[in-house]
Structure 1
């Protein structure tokens, strides 16, 4: 009796598997996020070439200006010190003047009270908010990320930052944007808490470059690439020199091999005397 019941259960199970295999499946609904999400646009940055690519100092200075006048209101740059800006082409006096435009936390030596002072070149860029709680409270509960390494933390790095900043659009028909969010097809979930940060002519460039949204997005993306990889040019020079050295060493080693073993090979191939 037990065997009969087990056999019936096995038959029913096999029949269910067979039915599930041959029964046509309902068409799955397409993933709307994947359908609307766009891959970052290609931008011809001067540092794109992995061998000889270098930073455009003028572009880096413009990008620093965009960060200072626009992005720094919400985003920190914790890993960059003011003295590092000399790599952008600023001299010591200019760096000192830039640092003085910021206040950093300090402690009064006489009273021990928490106070502020003007920043020094050795200081890092101060955060716009005292802590994460204050940052969320000021940004609809969204926490603005630190931008020091943002181009290393995001896939496609510089291209992604540029596309995101310049890619705000009206939501297509059928897509709902919740209150307090904005539609951006380059953001992973399409709805982003950051409002469009750039508008035409928002900054006035010292070199006279027209401050279009595309230009500002490209400039600040280049600047944030430098903050993430300040030694990029030195690393590439070192790598190129090392590769050239190895190529020359290989050629010399092969030539030495041929010279040293030439006579030995000749003796081995010579016809022995009878």
Structure 2
């Protein structure tokens, strides 16, 4: 009798273990068909209005983009455009010469300091000499008065005008933009700036231009002489100043690409190791199969 009771209990235990568990699943979200008629109409109207507005905005954008009043700059083959290409630091140096001799007369670069040039385009001694050529207003001194001193490495590039109002007066109401981040602030980047700088045209009848100068209806021509002897052609000048402005807007350009190269090299080593661990270390767990025997 005891053996029969044990067998019955054991059979009942197997039966209890064999009973499939019923999981309570949350109710499904209400479908669109089950919504009231008013909500259906509202959602349909909202979808039509949204799609219509997006289509109208796209059409207006395409019409303006394709208009004859807008010219998009072409894509130029910049030497630093590659994923692993660095900036041409000799061109950065020449570009700074262009900015100093030409652009600084109207445009500021208030976010760039002299110390930023050290190790990029000039040596520390060269930058100190360049900074000392600038008279910086400092103070007050112990008597409470302002004074001028030679520039230092920590000083920022001087502004051509004391305030925006003076800049507008000197440029017939136009405010020359700051060039610190100009290539990032304009669609097309350095392509736009290069196209703008090389947009000079032939002088109109009655206007004579001396040799070495270029005619532009908005900007006067300039004579440049590079310190390294590079011919200062119009395209060379535009290329150098665009490279300088790209570096000014993105000083971490070369460092970012070096870090990316290191990341790629590290991933080339790490990814195969992770694949080996997944393929071999976890193969036992991934291939394990649990079988349930139905109750007899």
State whether structure 2 residue 97 is matched by structure 1 residue 53: no
Distance in 2 (CA, whole Å) between partners of 1:267 and 1:127 is 73
Distance in 2 (CA, whole Å) between partners of 1:260 and 1:84 is 51
* 3-state DSSP of counterpart to 1:34: coil
Sort the Cα spacing of 1:59 and 1:197 in 2 relative to 1 into closer, same or farther, 3 A. farther
Residue 70 of structure 1 corresponds to: 102
Match of 1:91 among 113, 119, 123: 123
Sort the Cα spacing of 1:124 and 1:265 in 2 relative to 1 into closer, same or farther, 3 A. closer
State whether structure 2 residue 55 is matched by structure 1 residue 34: no
* 3-state DSSP of counterpart to 2:138: strand
Distance in 1 (CA, whole Å) between partners of 2:285 and 2:162 is 77
**Pairing 1:177-196 to 2, within 5 Å after superposition:** 195-196=218-219
Residue 107 of structure 1 corresponds to: 139
Distance in 2 (CA, whole Å) between partners of 1:266 and 1:130 is 75
Pair member with larger Rg: 2
State whether structure 2 residue 65 is matched by structure 1 residue 44: no
Q: CA deviation at 1:111?
A: 3.1
Sort the Cα spacing of 1:266 and 1:83 in 2 relative to 1 into closer, same or farther, 3 A. closer
TM-score after normalising by structure 2: 0.66
Q: CA deviation at 1:34?
A: 3.3
Where structure 1 has 5 or more consecutive residues not aligned to the other structure, the ranges are 1-29, 173-182, 185-193, 269-274
Distance in 2 (CA, whole Å) between partners of 1:134 and 1:111 is 30
Distance in 2 (CA, whole Å) between partners of 1:41 and 1:267 is 59
Distance in 2 (CA, whole Å) between partners of 1:258 and 1:169 is 66
Residue 258 of structure 1 corresponds to: 279
Distance in 2 (CA, whole Å) between partners of 1:43 and 1:267 is 58
Distance in 2 (CA, whole Å) between partners of 1:92 and 1:37 is 44
* 3-state DSSP of counterpart to 1:83: helix
Q: Residues 165 and 217 of structure 1 are in contact (CA less than 8 Å); yes or no, is this contact kept in structure 2?
A: yes
Distance in 2 (CA, whole Å) between partners of 1:103 and 1:155 is 36
Q: CA deviation at 1:230?
A: 0.3
* 3-state DSSP of counterpart to 2:200: coil
**Pairing 1:99-178 to 2, within 5 Å after superposition:** 99-169=131-201
TM-score after normalising by structure 1: 0.71
Match of 1:220 among 232, 235, 241: 241
State whether structure 2 residue 230 is matched by structure 1 residue 209: yes
Paired residues in the alignment total 217
Where structure 2 has 5 or more consecutive residues not aligned to the other structure, the ranges are 1-62, 205-214, 290-296
Alignment root-mean-square deviation, CA = 2.8
CA displacement, residues 189-211 of structure 1 (integer Å, 9 cap, x when unaligned):
xxxxx822544xx1111111110
Q: Residues 70 and 197 of structure 1 are in contact (CA less than 8 Å); yes or no, is this contact kept in structure 2?
A: no
* 3-state DSSP of counterpart to 1:104: strand
CA displacement, residues 176-235 of structure 1 (integer Å, 9 cap, x when unaligned):
xxxxxxx98xxxxxxxxx822544xx1111111110111101100100100000001111
